[in-house]
Amino acid sequence: MSKRQASEALEELVGSPASKKSRFDDYTKSLTPSANGDDNHTNGLQRIEDEEEGDDFDDEVEEKAPIRQAAPTAGYDDLYLDTIDRNVLDFDFEKLCSISLSNINVYACLVCGKYFQGRGPKSHAYFHALDEDHHVYINMSTQKVYVLPEGYEVMSKSLDDIKYVSDPRYTRQEVAEFDRKPRTSRTLLGKEYTPGFVGMNNIKENDYLNVIVQSLSHVSPLRNYFLLEDLSKRDELVKRTSILFRKIWNPRAFKSHVSPHELLQEISLRSNKRFTLTAQSDPVEFLSWYLNNLHLGLGGSKTKPHSSPIQHIFQGKLKVESQAITAKADASDRLRFEESTQVQTDISRFLLLTLDLPPAPLFQDEQEANIIPQVPLSLLLAKYNGVKAQELNAQRKRYRLMHPLPPFLVFHVKRFSKNKFVSERNPTIVTFDARNLDVGPYVEPDPSHCQPGEPIWYDLVANVVHEAVRQKEDVADSAVGEEKKTWKVQLRDKSRDGEWVVAQDLFVEKIREELLYLGETYLQVWERRDRPRVQGGSNGKGKGRMA
């Protein structure tokens, strides 16, 4: 079927509106004087007034496309670079656009330090460049620097320090020298600091996280893994942990401290706000959650042992012997294992070991001494000698470590207990030597790993200490203020012959090794020392060299 022809052309239709372009042409012609005199000129002026009263005239002006450049104008390669202010740059906070709160395609303004999304003609960064006259921006994903509104990329070498602070990268040679060569760096303001021993910002109540991150960043194999491996395809928790570790060990930082804000936001989201920056939490609970989630984020299995670097470094085996408590047991010997009763043996795996403090005395002695009791660490470790038994859930239990021992042992000194009424704190001081901890007596003998009676030496790497701070009394209430928990960590500097540093939030200072045990130790990380190798391939005895 053929199409029906139109009865008349579309242009000839009566009453069709004239296009804006044609009206604009008529308006132009009206401004041109003609031979008819002032009448046409008067009509032209009248037409101008009519157009100004309506909105049609504004629509007639076509928008000009913004000028974009693929490269800077010749001779102006360093244009606007003198406006960059390195003192206001802080890349530790979460990369969110300050206007749209989006984390996609985020740029940082190198003049004021704010984050904006995109760099196109309709983006927030583009309008910020026009409104505030700030022209230099860095892409937080690619580390490329652009000038807006022109849009070209800056290739200047003078910006390499900013790119390095935003995303530090290391070679294997640099990482290998962290524990061998002492180094001192300087900030933009000339303040000296030691890479790896920097303060961490306590935003409100996140010092429980600061001490854990500081401790893990000094576990050498874990630190080296996060500093050297490409983790861009891992989950967000692993990536943010990696960038924080790299900033802690940054030798070219602008400031002598870092902020865990970006990592905290991800932890708060992943833990359903169990761990936040506004509420104090227990460091051991956080460490347990953190290690397990890092294990899964690194591709670890829930059932297969040693399936991630986390388990290779911290996981060990523990033999647990259990025996039901019978009515025949004597009250004085309730915790003694009986030969006539069957003993059940289980092998379990652990990431940290719990040490139980003896009950604190209620009253001081006659000489008014021992107000704060002391107990040696070896006495607490006797729990794992395979002889001492404990009563738990109507059963006698005794524990023994098994070979192979993990490269790092984590001890948790159980200092807090809860009942139906109140939470109690045991102030007992744990005494220890930061070197030469022999774990051999607490390990099941296995000639394939270690000869019987041969010492197994561990050295302290990090010691988390609890401090109880009495809050101020309320003016309206005469009652004594409640105790507030604060945390600090003591770290060993291997590059300076085992010197010690104490870090509490932004404060970092040296501490003598003899004074480490004076605080309320809560969490310790111990590193196994390499045994010296004797000619012939056999392992000799002795303290050996430190790892």
Cβ of 434: how many Cβ atoms within 10 Å?
19
What mean pLDDT do residues 58-73 have? 61
Sign of dihedral through CA atoms 251, 255, 259, 263? negative
What mean pLDDT do residues 245-268 have? 94
546: which 2 tokens? 């430190």
pLDDT digits (tens, 9 = 90+) for 332-378: 555 455 555 678 889 999 999 999 998 877 666 555 555 788 899 99
| Distance in Å from the first CA to the final CA of the chain | 92
Exposed e or buried b for every residue in 19-56, given b needs 16+ CB within 10 A? eeeebeeebeebeeeeeeeeeeeeebeeeeeebeeeee
- In sequence order, what are the beta bridge partners of 423? 418
pLDDT at 35: 44
pLDDT at 364: 61
User: pLDDT confidence of 50, banded at 50, 70, 90?
Assistant: very low
Residues 6+ apart with CB under 8 A from 306: 312, 315
What mean pLDDT do residues 132-161 have? 92
The predicted model scores a pTM of 0.80
For 342, list phi and psi in degrees, rounded to 5.
-70, 135
pLDDT greater than 70 at residue 305 = yes
Q: Which domains does the chain have, with CATH numbers?
A: 16-60 (no CATH), 81-165 (3.30.40.10), 177-296 (3.90.70.10), 316-350+352-528 (3.90.70.10)
pLDDT digits (tens, 9 = 90+) for 471-518: 665 545 444 557 788 999 999 999 988 899 999 999 999 999 999 998
pLDDT digits (tens, 9 = 90+) for 80-128: 899 999 999 989 888 999 999 999 999 999 999 999 999 999 999 999 9
CB 144 within 8 A of CB 461: no
CB 116 within 8 A of CB 99: yes
CB 62 within 8 A of CB 20: no
pLDDT greater than 70 at residue 26 = no
Place of tokens 């910006």: 159
408: which 2 tokens? 């790092």
pLDDT at 227: 95
Q: Closest Cα partner for 213 from 232, 186, 178, 240?
A: 240
pLDDT greater than 90 at residue 537 = no
pLDDT at 423: 79
Q: Which H helix or E strand runs over 356?
A: strand 353-356
- In sequence order, what are the beta bridge partners of 501? 491, 510
